[in-house]
Structure 1
Amino acid sequence: MIHLNYNNLETETQERLLSKSKEEIQSKFGDELKVFSKQHELNYDELLYEEAVKNLYNYKFKFQI
């Protein structure tokens, strides 16, 4: 059995998955993240990026070879 994680994927695939993860985080927690970033004077885009990366490690990858 082969186990792959996000880092083992090609750059194009990583970017696509990160984009999808950002959309998912924005739809679930976008308003909360905006409020949090304003309260703590953080950059919203950087906070969104960090949360999207964390979210990627919750994904389960399935490949057909």
Structure 2
Amino acid sequence: MPALPASPCTNACRIDPASGFCVGCRRSLDEIANWSRLDAPARLAVLAALRDRQAASPRPTE
């Protein structure tokens, strides 16, 4: 069985009220809560969405 993609968590956990996404990893609360139950294809789909979110709105530098 292939390894599951690792969590994209960056330990900078805070939900941005404007976007609804974590400022660290860019996942939604549902994506964060369900991550451990997702299979490999579903995790890869979330990771692809994160790349799109990052391209659309880069993280602010703190």
TM-score range, shorter chain: 0.3 to 0.5
Instruction: Report 1 or 2 for greater relative contact order, CA contacts < 8 Å, sequence distance ≥ 6.
Output: 1
Higher-Rg structure is 1
TM-score (norm 2): 0.38
